[in-house]
Amino acid sequence: MRTLRKQPWARPALTNIAERSRDTFKVLISCIISLRTKDAVTAAASGRLYALAETPEQMMRLKAAQIARAIYPAGFYRTKAKRIKEIAKRIVEEHGGRVPEDFETLLSFKGVGRKTANIVMVYGFGREGLPIDVHCHRVPNRLGWVQTKTPEQTEEELRKILPKQYWMDFNNLFVQFGQNVCRPVRPKCGECPVSTHCAYYRETYRSKQAA
C-alpha cells in the first residue's frame, strides 16, 4: 500500500468529484453514474447533470428524460436517470434532504449496492469502508491476498486481513493500479512496482523459466 501511494497515476473520477465538491449527494449520484461507465464519461456526465441540479430538491424536480440526456452516454443511462430521480425524491421526503449516514439504509435505495454504499461511506462521510469494484476484486486475487469469485466475497475476506488503517485508501489506490498496470487483459507486469509481492507474477515467471 505504501508503494502504491507513491505512484504518479491519475486519480479516479469519483475521488476528484468528492474532493472538489465535499458533497455527499454528489458522491452518491456520481457513483451511480459510474457503474459500468468509463471514468472520463462519468466526470463529464456528472458535470452536465450538476449544471442542471446540485441538490436533492433540485434533482427530484427534473424529468427523468432531462437526467438521461445529461448523463448520456453513461451505461444504462435511462435506467440510471429513473433511479437518480427516485433516490433524490426519497432523500427529500424521508431524510430531510440529507443523504442518510447509515449503510443499511443506503442499501435500501433502489440502484444502490454494497460498492456504492461503501463509496458514500468513505468519500462522502469519511468513514471506514471497503468499496469493491472490478479492479478491487481482480487485483487482490491476482496478488494472492484472497481467492474469491465475487466482489462481495472479496470485501468480506479483505475485512478480515487488511488493516483498517488502509481501508480509506484501498479503493482509490487499487482502481488506479487496476486501470494503469494490473489491467484485466495484458497486465503490465514488467512495469509493476509490486511484482515481487504478486502470486500471479511469480507463477507467470516460473512458467516462462520452466519453458
Q: Are 137 and 184 in contact (CB under 8 A)?
A: no
CA dihedral 166, 169, 174, 179 (to 10 degrees): -170
Give 65-121 pLDDT, tens digit per residue. Answer: 999 999 999 999 999 999 999 999 999 999 999 999 999 999 999 999 999 999 999
Q: pLDDT at position 209, please? A: 63
Cell of 54: 446540485
How far apart CA 115 and CA 106 sit, in angstroms, is 11
Task: State mean pLDDT over 58-62.
Answer: 98
For the domain 13-124, what is the CATH superfamily, name and number? Hypothetical protein; domain 2 (1.10.340.30)
211 pLDDT band (50/70/90 cuts)?
A: low
Neighbours of 110 (CB within 10 A): 9
Amino acid at 17: I
Stated pTM of the model: 0.92
pLDDT at 143 over 80: yes
Among 67, 87, 86, 85, which Cα is nearest to 77's?
Answer: 67
Exposure b/e, 122-158, CB count within 10 A at least 16 = b: bbbeeeebbbbbebbbbbbbbbebbebeebeebbebb
Each residue of 2-55: pLDDT tens digit?
999 999 998 899 999 998 888 999 999 999 999 999 999 999 999 999 999 999
Q: Do domains 13-124 and 133-210 have the same CATH topology?
A: no
Which residues, other chains included, contact 194 with Cβ-Cβ below 8 Å and sequence gap of 6+? 3, 4, 143
Could you tell me which CATH class the domain 133-210 is placed in? Answer: mainly alpha
Contact between 133 and 105 (Cβ < 8 Å): no
Domain ranges across the chain: 13-124, 133-210
